[in-house]
Amino acid sequence: MAKINIKIEGVAYQVEEGLTILEAARECGYEIPSLCSFNHGECSLASCRVCLVEATGARGLVASCVYPVAEGMEIKISSPKAAAARRLSVELLLSNHSMNCQQCEKNGHCELLYVAQITGAREGKFLGAKTPVSYDDLTPSLVRDTSKCILCGRCVARCQNAHGTGILGFEKRGFSTIVAPAAERSFSETPCILCGQCVSVCPTGALSEKSEIEKVDAAMLAGKHVVVQTAPAVRAALGEEFGLPIGTAVTGKMVAALKRLGFAKVYDTNFAADLTIMEEANELLGRIKNDGVLPMITSCSPGWVNYAEYYYGDQLDHLSSCKSPHQMQGAIIKSYYAEKNNIDPKDIFVVSIMPCTAKKFEKERPEMECEGLRDVDAVLTTRELAKLIKRSGINFNKLPDEEFDQDIMGEYTGAGVIFGATGGVMEAALRTAYFALTGKEHEAIKFEAVRGMDGLKEAEININGNVIKVAIASGMKNAKVLMDQIRDGKSPYTFIEIMGCPGGCINGGGQPYVKPMFLPNEDTNILDTFKQKRAQALYSEDERQTLRQSHNNTQIQALYKEFLGEPNSHKAHELLHTHYHSRERFPEK
Ligand code: SF4
Ligand code: SF4
Ligand code: SF4
Ligand code: FES
């Protein structure tokens, strides 16, 4: 790209042609306030006007998030005129805002408050009518509160870009405009997959996860035996909440924090990830041997399962019947663990710490129980765990590294760890399937072809001369490509991994917010690289493990020997498998 000459605040710079003023300024070390613009134009409605600057060649002030730089342009960011205009824009946003910051889930991460602070905007300057509020907390996963919405459109763009489903849009006109599902339905009356991608980009508290911290507090107070488990992706991102660089794995500190928070046992969902692989790889081999329905598709992402039930209700027999790992672990805690420790399962309360808002919904599904007991009782996101830790006064960064409880379900392999990144479940399953088919471990251990952050990947795996074609998709826009092939009878694949969120769980809707304005120590292009950095944290942990294939987990072997029998046994089916059903996309109100 050709370079052009510009001046910012009188200082000469050379920047790439074609950049917006905001992008060029960022390259030159300036951060112009912005709200509606996000992620290299993923959303650029230019609706908030908090990025106004003066620029030669333009008439009046321009929105720097959309206005391109030009040869010889002189830009003034801090002129009194530009600063006053930005302040006024923020004050107008505040005038139509509920401002109940103390109760707001976004407090501490709110971009509107941050921009108000740096522009010197004052609340209450323009008093008057406010847009009527629309509120929705009917799903177990999400809360939508338009009293905090600034109509930036980021959520609308993210939902469409990730999934192509367009659940959210602008409703009504003029001063009454709100962002909501069509006809102002609740998320529960739409095919929203509850992934929380919209929450992760919302600059304010207009979209948030439905917190279950109070449920956990109540169980602790009631004297329940509260067991916690953490998904692999949590350790790759939790440190960001405590100022650590993106990609810092904090496994040991996370365990130490959970122990100090008073959980009776601290387990890793990786144990059940290994268990999932045992069940899933055997299910796949069974389907291959017995001419079963192929391709088989993974089922550990509840966002993906929701999508399949809404959009491909006629193809559900392709999904593995395996429950997701945290549901399996919950079922094993309330059966095997309860029996071993002589605890009444009714007194056990299982908490899952997940990168995902859809798992809050999943654990409420009627199928996710055994003998009248829920597998999992509460799901907290990574962000909610950070809140719990901060609330308790624990100095996270000073914690020592501690180990998960080791008894009966403390062991895990590298295969379990990599579940958190797109391609990870596939790789873990291939490690075990390779062993099952050849009686030997795959020499390289890694299956490089299934790694990487592309939304759609395919690979050919040669096992004993048999070539298996596999595919991996994350984000439902990509899943649709593979599902349409299946529906048309043209799928060349044997096994497919699908994850709801782009990049997999490391980019789940419950992970810490990645907002460049709050990350002064990160690269300016962090939105391009944060998924790779988090994934790398998991791949490094895989490499540090002595055991790297699920079938070599000795506690999993013991679980089968003492309790489940063998993979896909009757008991395993009772506890670890489930079924799916087609769901209406827009049910009658
Ligand atoms: S969105 Fe921000 S400004 Fe609005 S109530 Fe929440 S914390 Fe306060
Ligand atoms: S939760 Fe996911 S599917 Fe639902 S509106 Fe948000 S981005 Fe779209
Ligand atoms: S809900 Fe959030 S992301 Fe969506 S338009 Fe409102 S403020 Fe923007
Ligand atoms: S960030 Fe430029 S108009 Fe909103």
Query: For the domain that residue 100 is a member of, what is the CATH number?
Result: 3.30.70.20
CATH number of domain containing 441 = 3.40.50.1780
One domain for residues 439 and 524: yes
Ligand 2 contacts CB of residue 167 (under 6 A): yes
Residue at 170 is within a domain: yes
Minimum-distance ligand to the CA of 48?
A: 4
What separation in angstroms does the CA of 6 have from each of 62, 63, 69, 82, 430? Answer: 16, 17, 8, 18, 53
- Residue 277 · residue 271 · CB < 8 Å: no
User: Among residues 94, 118, 151, which one ends one of the domains?
Assistant: 94
- Quote the pLDDT of residue 48: 96
Is the bond preceding residue 295 a cis peptide, omega within 30 degrees? yes
Ligand 1 contacts CB of residue 110 (under 6 A): yes
Please tell me the distance between residue 128's alpha carbon and the centre of ligand 1 in angstroms.
Answer: 19
Residue at 509 is within a domain: yes
CATH number of domain containing 20 = 3.10.20.740
One domain for residues 365 and 457: yes
Length of the chain: 589
One domain for residues 245 and 101: no
Domain boundaries, position 502:
214-576
Residue at 588 is within a domain: no
One domain for residues 129 and 117: yes
Residues of 174-190 as b/e, b for ≥16 C-beta within 10 angstroms? eeeebbbbeeebbbbbb
One domain for residues 132 and 199: yes
Regions in the chain scoring below 50 on pLDDT: none
- Quote the pLDDT of residue 471: 95
Residues having CB closer than 6 A to ligand 4 are 34-37, 46-51, 63, 65
Residue at 587 is within a domain: no
- Residue 493 · residue 471 · CB < 8 Å: yes
Please tell me the distance between residue 159's alpha carbon and the centre of ligand 2 in angstroms.
Answer: 5
One domain for residues 321 and 451: yes
Q: In terms of DSSP H, where are the helices of 261-313? A: 270-289, 302-311
User: Among residues 194, 209, 224, which one ends one of the domains?
Assistant: 209
Ligand 1 contacts CB of residue 104 (under 6 A): yes
Residue at 382 is within a domain: yes
- Quote the pLDDT of residue 306: 98
Residue at 586 is within a domain: no
The rounded distance, in Å, linking the Cα atoms of 278 and 428 is 10
Ligand 2 atom closest to the Cα of residue 197 is: 7
One domain for residues 467 and 358: yes
What separation in angstroms does the CA of 217 have from each of 122, 353, 388? Answer: 37, 14, 10
Strand partners, 378: 351
- Quote the pLDDT of residue 378: 98
One domain for residues 227 and 152: no
One domain for residues 529 and 504: yes
Phi, psi of 76 (to 5 degrees): -120, 115
User: Among residues 61, 94, 127, which one ends one of the domains?
Assistant: 94
One domain for residues 426 and 504: yes
Predicted TM-score (pTM) of the model is 0.95
Residue at 589 is within a domain: no
Ligand 2, atom 8: closest residue by C-alpha:
159
Residue at 583 is within a domain: no
One domain for residues 105 and 68: no
One domain for residues 81 and 124: no
Q: How many domains does the chain have?
A: 3
